[in-house]
Amino acid sequence: TRNNLTLSQQRLMLHIFSMIKPEDTDLPSYELSIYDFIKMTGMDPHSGALYKQVRKNIEELANAPIQWIKNNGTSTVETFRWIDKVRIDEGRARMTITLDPVLKPHLVQLKTLYTTMDVTYTMLMRSTYSIRIYELCKSYQSLYLKKKAAGEPLVWNLSMLYEQLSYTANRWSDFRRLALEKAKAEINEKTDIIFNYDVYEKKGQKVLSLVVTIDPVDDAAAQANLDSINSTVRKKEQKRRA
Protein backbone atom coordinates (compact mmCIF):
# COMPACT_ATOMS: atom_id res chain seq x y z
CA THR A 1 0.00 0.00 0.00
CA ARG A 2 0.88 3.64 -0.40
CA ASN A 3 -0.46 6.14 2.07
CA ASN A 4 0.22 9.62 3.36
CA LEU A 5 -1.21 9.24 6.85
CA THR A 6 0.15 11.32 9.68
CA LEU A 7 2.03 9.68 12.54
CA SER A 8 -1.02 9.64 14.82
CA GLN A 9 -3.27 8.33 12.03
CA GLN A 10 -0.82 5.49 11.38
CA ARG A 11 -0.88 4.55 15.06
CA LEU A 12 -4.67 4.55 15.11
CA MET A 13 -4.97 2.36 12.01
CA LEU A 14 -2.36 -0.09 13.32
CA HIS A 15 -4.34 -0.30 16.57
CA ILE A 16 -7.51 -1.10 14.61
CA PHE A 17 -5.66 -3.65 12.45
CA SER A 18 -4.38 -5.36 15.61
CA MET A 19 -8.01 -6.03 16.58
CA ILE A 20 -8.43 -8.36 13.60
CA LYS A 21 -8.76 -11.85 14.99
CA PRO A 22 -7.13 -14.88 13.35
CA GLU A 23 -10.55 -16.49 12.86
CA ASP A 24 -12.05 -13.40 11.17
CA THR A 25 -13.24 -13.97 7.62
CA ASP A 26 -14.93 -10.60 7.41
CA LEU A 27 -14.26 -7.11 8.69
CA PRO A 28 -16.58 -6.38 11.62
CA SER A 29 -16.85 -2.99 13.31
CA TYR A 30 -14.13 -2.21 15.83
CA GLU A 31 -14.82 -0.48 19.13
CA LEU A 32 -12.32 1.55 21.14
CA SER A 33 -12.47 4.01 23.98
CA ILE A 34 -12.28 7.75 23.44
CA TYR A 35 -9.35 7.70 25.90
CA ASP A 36 -7.37 5.32 23.66
CA PHE A 37 -8.20 7.47 20.64
CA ILE A 38 -6.99 10.60 22.43
CA LYS A 39 -3.79 8.86 23.53
CA MET A 40 -2.94 7.69 20.01
CA THR A 41 -3.72 10.98 18.30
CA GLY A 42 -2.00 13.20 20.86
CA MET A 43 -5.11 15.28 21.57
CA ASP A 44 -5.53 17.47 24.66
CA PRO A 45 -7.87 15.52 27.00
CA HIS A 46 -8.67 18.70 28.95
CA SER A 47 -9.99 20.60 25.96
CA GLY A 48 -13.47 21.98 26.45
CA ALA A 49 -14.20 21.04 22.84
CA LEU A 50 -13.01 17.46 23.19
CA TYR A 51 -15.63 15.74 21.03
CA LYS A 52 -15.34 18.48 18.41
CA GLN A 53 -11.62 17.61 18.18
CA VAL A 54 -12.44 13.89 18.02
CA ARG A 55 -14.85 14.44 15.12
CA LYS A 56 -12.32 16.63 13.30
CA ASN A 57 -9.61 13.95 13.63
CA ILE A 58 -11.98 11.25 12.42
CA GLU A 59 -13.04 13.36 9.44
CA GLU A 60 -9.41 13.93 8.45
CA LEU A 61 -8.69 10.21 8.62
CA ALA A 62 -11.90 9.32 6.77
CA ASN A 63 -10.97 11.74 3.98
CA ALA A 64 -7.38 10.54 3.64
CA PRO A 65 -7.13 8.49 0.45
CA ILE A 66 -4.91 5.45 0.12
CA GLN A 67 -3.71 3.67 -3.00
CA TRP A 68 -3.47 -0.11 -3.03
CA ILE A 69 -1.35 -1.54 -5.81
CA LYS A 70 -2.59 -5.02 -6.61
CA ASN A 71 -0.03 -7.79 -7.01
CA ASN A 72 -1.99 -9.81 -9.50
CA GLY A 73 0.20 -9.26 -12.54
CA THR A 74 -1.56 -6.08 -13.60
CA SER A 75 -0.76 -2.39 -13.14
CA THR A 76 -4.24 -1.62 -11.79
CA VAL A 77 -4.31 0.85 -8.88
CA GLU A 78 -7.41 1.05 -6.72
CA THR A 79 -8.05 4.12 -4.58
CA PHE A 80 -10.36 4.02 -1.60
CA ARG A 81 -10.82 5.44 1.90
CA TRP A 82 -9.90 3.85 5.20
CA ILE A 83 -13.18 4.35 7.03
CA ASP A 84 -16.74 3.61 5.99
CA LYS A 85 -18.49 5.02 9.05
CA VAL A 86 -17.96 5.93 12.69
CA ARG A 87 -20.41 5.95 15.62
CA ILE A 88 -19.46 7.96 18.72
CA ASP A 89 -21.18 7.28 22.05
CA GLU A 90 -20.36 10.30 24.20
CA GLY A 91 -22.20 8.85 27.19
CA ARG A 92 -20.00 5.73 27.27
CA ALA A 93 -16.94 7.59 25.93
CA ARG A 94 -16.51 4.98 23.19
CA MET A 95 -16.47 4.92 19.41
CA THR A 96 -17.16 2.22 16.85
CA ILE A 97 -15.26 2.33 13.57
CA THR A 98 -16.30 0.43 10.45
CA LEU A 99 -13.64 0.07 7.77
CA ASP A 100 -14.23 0.52 4.06
CA PRO A 101 -15.45 -2.87 2.72
CA VAL A 102 -12.95 -2.53 -0.15
CA LEU A 103 -10.22 -3.28 2.41
CA LYS A 104 -11.63 -6.72 3.19
CA PRO A 105 -9.66 -8.90 0.73
CA HIS A 106 -6.44 -7.18 1.72
CA LEU A 107 -6.70 -6.88 5.49
CA VAL A 108 -8.11 -10.33 6.10
CA GLN A 109 -5.07 -11.72 4.27
CA LEU A 110 -2.84 -9.69 6.59
CA LYS A 111 -4.58 -10.76 9.80
CA THR A 112 -1.65 -13.00 10.78
CA LEU A 113 0.69 -10.00 10.71
CA TYR A 114 -1.57 -7.65 12.63
CA THR A 115 -2.54 -10.16 15.29
CA THR A 116 1.12 -11.04 16.02
CA MET A 117 2.52 -7.49 15.89
CA ASP A 118 2.22 -5.57 19.15
CA VAL A 119 1.48 -2.00 18.07
CA THR A 120 2.61 -0.72 21.47
CA TYR A 121 6.13 -0.77 20.06
CA THR A 122 5.17 2.04 17.68
CA MET A 123 3.66 4.34 20.32
CA LEU A 124 6.81 6.42 20.91
CA MET A 125 8.14 6.39 17.36
CA ARG A 126 8.63 9.91 16.01
CA SER A 127 8.95 9.08 12.33
CA THR A 128 6.24 7.80 10.01
CA TYR A 129 9.00 5.94 8.16
CA SER A 130 9.90 4.08 11.35
CA ILE A 131 6.36 2.79 11.74
CA ARG A 132 6.07 1.73 8.10
CA ILE A 133 9.49 0.04 8.04
CA TYR A 134 8.71 -1.75 11.32
CA GLU A 135 5.44 -2.94 9.79
CA LEU A 136 7.32 -4.15 6.70
CA CYS A 137 9.91 -5.90 8.87
CA LYS A 138 7.23 -7.80 10.75
CA SER A 139 5.55 -8.83 7.50
CA TYR A 140 8.88 -10.12 6.13
CA GLN A 141 10.30 -11.58 9.34
CA SER A 142 9.08 -15.13 8.82
CA LEU A 143 10.47 -15.18 5.27
CA TYR A 144 13.75 -13.69 6.48
CA LEU A 145 14.20 -16.40 9.12
CA LYS A 146 13.49 -19.14 6.56
CA LYS A 147 16.01 -17.63 4.14
CA LYS A 148 18.55 -17.18 6.93
CA ALA A 149 18.25 -20.87 7.86
CA ALA A 150 18.84 -21.76 4.20
CA GLY A 151 21.83 -19.42 3.94
CA GLU A 152 20.00 -17.05 1.58
CA PRO A 153 19.73 -13.25 1.83
CA LEU A 154 16.50 -11.26 2.09
CA VAL A 155 16.65 -8.56 -0.57
CA TRP A 156 14.44 -5.48 -0.78
CA ASN A 157 14.19 -3.71 -4.12
CA LEU A 158 14.74 -0.01 -3.49
CA SER A 159 12.00 1.11 -5.88
CA MET A 160 9.57 -1.17 -3.99
CA LEU A 161 10.66 0.40 -0.73
CA TYR A 162 10.15 3.92 -2.10
CA GLU A 163 6.68 2.87 -3.22
CA GLN A 164 5.75 1.31 0.12
CA LEU A 165 6.89 4.39 2.03
CA SER A 166 5.40 6.91 -0.41
CA TYR A 167 8.90 8.37 -0.73
CA THR A 168 8.99 10.67 -3.74
CA ALA A 169 12.60 11.87 -3.80
CA ASN A 170 15.15 9.79 -5.64
CA ARG A 171 18.38 10.58 -3.83
CA TRP A 172 19.80 7.58 -2.00
CA SER A 173 21.82 9.58 0.54
CA ASP A 174 18.73 11.54 1.64
CA PHE A 175 16.58 8.40 1.83
CA ARG A 176 19.21 6.66 3.91
CA ARG A 177 19.52 9.62 6.30
CA LEU A 178 15.86 10.64 6.56
CA ALA A 179 14.16 7.24 6.46
CA LEU A 180 16.40 4.21 6.94
CA GLU A 181 18.75 5.46 9.64
CA LYS A 182 15.96 7.01 11.70
CA ALA A 183 13.90 3.83 11.38
CA LYS A 184 16.85 1.63 12.26
CA ALA A 185 17.59 3.64 15.41
CA GLU A 186 13.98 3.67 16.63
CA ILE A 187 13.23 0.04 15.75
CA ASN A 188 16.41 -1.30 17.36
CA GLU A 189 15.93 0.80 20.51
CA LYS A 190 12.21 0.34 21.08
CA THR A 191 10.91 -2.92 19.58
CA ASP A 192 11.14 -6.72 19.54
CA ILE A 193 13.49 -6.90 16.53
CA ILE A 194 16.91 -5.74 15.36
CA PHE A 195 16.74 -4.28 11.86
CA ASN A 196 19.81 -3.79 9.70
CA TYR A 197 20.55 -3.29 6.02
CA ASP A 198 23.34 -2.85 3.51
CA VAL A 199 23.59 -2.09 -0.18
CA TYR A 200 23.12 -5.30 -2.16
CA GLU A 201 23.09 -4.22 -5.80
CA LYS A 202 24.20 -1.07 -7.60
CA LYS A 203 24.25 0.12 -11.19
CA GLY A 204 27.06 2.61 -11.43
CA GLN A 205 26.42 4.94 -8.49
CA LYS A 206 22.71 4.12 -8.32
CA VAL A 207 21.58 1.83 -5.50
CA LEU A 208 19.08 -0.76 -6.76
CA SER A 209 18.49 -3.05 -3.79
CA LEU A 210 19.31 -3.72 -0.14
CA VAL A 211 20.07 -6.85 1.82
CA VAL A 212 18.04 -6.78 5.03
CA THR A 213 18.27 -8.57 8.37
CA ILE A 214 15.34 -8.78 10.82
CA ASP A 215 16.47 -10.68 13.90
CA PRO A 216 14.25 -11.08 16.97
CA VAL A 217 15.51 -9.87 20.33
CA ASP A 218 15.16 -12.22 23.27
CA ASP A 219 11.87 -12.28 25.18
CA ALA A 220 13.28 -10.45 28.20
CA ALA A 221 14.55 -7.55 26.07
CA ALA A 222 11.27 -7.35 24.15
CA GLN A 223 9.28 -7.23 27.40
CA ALA A 224 11.64 -4.61 28.85
CA ASN A 225 11.03 -2.41 25.82
CA LEU A 226 7.26 -2.82 26.20
CA ASP A 227 7.44 -1.98 29.91
CA SER A 228 9.54 1.10 29.18
CA ILE A 229 7.10 2.34 26.53
CA ASN A 230 4.05 1.79 28.75
CA SER A 231 5.78 3.56 31.64
CA THR A 232 6.66 6.56 29.46
CA VAL A 233 3.10 6.77 28.10
CA ARG A 234 1.66 6.66 31.64
CA LYS A 235 4.01 9.43 32.82
CA LYS A 236 3.03 11.59 29.86
CA GLU A 237 -0.64 11.07 30.67
CA GLN A 238 -0.11 11.91 34.34
CA LYS A 239 1.79 15.07 33.41
CA ARG A 240 -0.93 16.06 30.95
CA ARG A 241 -3.63 15.62 33.59
CA ALA A 242 -1.71 17.58 36.26
Q: What pLDDT digit, counting tens, does each position of 87-129 carry?
A: 999 899 999 998 887 777 666 555 555 545 777 888 889 898 9
Total domain count, the chain:
2
For residues 154 and 164, what is the distance between their CA atoms, to the nearest angstrom? Answer: 17
* Residue 147 pLDDT class (50, 70, 90 cuts): very high
Structural domain range at position 14 = 2-115
In a domain, 239, yes or no: no
Report whether 192 contacts 121 (CB < 8 A): yes
Residue 26 vs residues 23, 76, 211: alpha-carbon distances, Å: 9, 24, 36
* 200 and 146 both lie in a single domain: yes
65-69 β-sheet, strand order: 2-3, 65-69, 77-81
In a domain, 60, yes or no: yes
For residues 164 and 184, what is the distance between their CA atoms, to the nearest angstrom? Answer: 16
* 163 and 109 both lie in a single domain: no
* 105 and 199 both lie in a single domain: no
Q: What does pLDDT average to over the chain? A: 83
Query: pTM value?
Result: 0.72
* Residue 233 pLDDT class (50, 70, 90 cuts): confident
In a domain, 68, yes or no: yes
* 205 and 150 both lie in a single domain: yes
pLDDT tens-digit series, residues 52-67: 888 888 888 888 776 6
The answer on pLDDT for 169 being more than 90 is no
